[in-house]
Amino acid sequence: TQLLEQSPQFLSIQEGENLTVYCNSSSVFSSLQWYRQEPGEGPVLLVTVVTGGEVKKLKRLTFQFGDARKDSSLHITAAQPGDTGLYLCAGALPGTYKYIFGTGTRLKVLA
C-alpha cells in the first residue's frame, strides 16, 4: 500500500510566523497536489506540481516537488488567521488514475 506521510500532524503558531509542512513517501508520483480543507467542506485544490524540483508560489505559499518526485513541501510566510485549516497532500500514482492522500496537517494560526 502506497503511503504518504505528512508532518507535522498539528501546528499552532502565532500570526506572522513562518512554517513548513512536509509530505513524504517511498513511492514516485506523476504529480502531487496540495489542498486546504475547511470544517464541513470538501478539500479545495491549491496547486499541482508535476516536474521534479518544481517550485510554485501562490501569494505567501510556496510549494516544492522533490527532485525524485517522492516528496513535497509547503512553506507559508507570515501566516495569517485565514490560513487556518487542514492541509492535505495527494499524489497521483504513475500509470493509473488514482490519487493517494496524506493524513493531513491541521494548522491553527492565532491572532
Binding site for another protein (CB under 8 A): 1, 30-31, 33, 35, 40-45, 48, 50, 88, 90, 92, 97-104
* Residue 37 vs 62, nearer CB to another protein: 37
Q: What angle (nearest 5°) sits at the alpha carbon of residue 53, between those of residues 28 and 10? A: 70
- Shortest Å, Cβ 42 to another protein: 3
- Compute the least distance from the CB of residue 101 to another protein, in Å: 4
Per the CB < 8 A criterion, the answer to whether 4 and 91 are in contact is: yes
* Residue whose cell numbers read 501562490: 58
Distance CA 30, CA 105 (A): 22
CB of 100 to another protein, least distance (A): 7
Of 68 and 78, which has the nearer Cβ to another protein?
A: 68
Residue 11 vs 18, nearer CB to another protein:
11
